[in-house]
Amino acid sequence: MSLSPALLEILACPEDKGPLYYVEAESLLYNPRLRRRYDVRDDIPVMLIPEATTIDDSEHDRLMALIESSSISPTFDADSSAG
C-alpha cells in the first residue's frame, strides 16, 4: 500500500514547509534542501523533526539519482504555493 495522492498533495517538511519527494520503494519522504529524510512506517509518514534523519552527501546523491530516474514529482509545486 502507498500514501494516498490526496495526502501527498498536502505533505510538507515540518521544518522549512517546502515540498518533499515520496520514494515509495524505500518508504521515505525526502527533503533535498535540508538533506533530511522522514520515514514512512506502516503507511504513516513520521513527520516529527526529532525523528528525521539527516543524510550525507553520498546518500543525497543516491536519492536524487533515484528520484530523477523514477520521475518522482515533489508533493507540491513550491512556486505556485508562494503567495
Q: Where are the domains of the chain?
A: 5-74
What pTM does this model have? 0.90
C-beta neighbour count of 75 within 10 angstroms: 21
Looking at the DSSP bridge assignments, the partners of residue 7 are: none
Measure the CA–CA gap between 17 and 78, rounded to whole angstroms.
Answer: 9
User: May I ask the CATH architecture of the domain 5-74?
Assistant: Single Sheet (2.20)
Any residues with CB less than 8 A from the CB of 50 and at least 6 apart, and which?
Answer: none
Tens place of pLDDT per residue across the chain (83 aa) = 689 999 999 999 999 999 999 999 999 999 999 999 999 999 999 999 999 999 999 999 999 999 999 999 999 988 765 54
- Cα–Cα distance, 51 to 62 (Å, whole number): 21
Nearest-5° Cα angle at 48, 26 to 65:
30
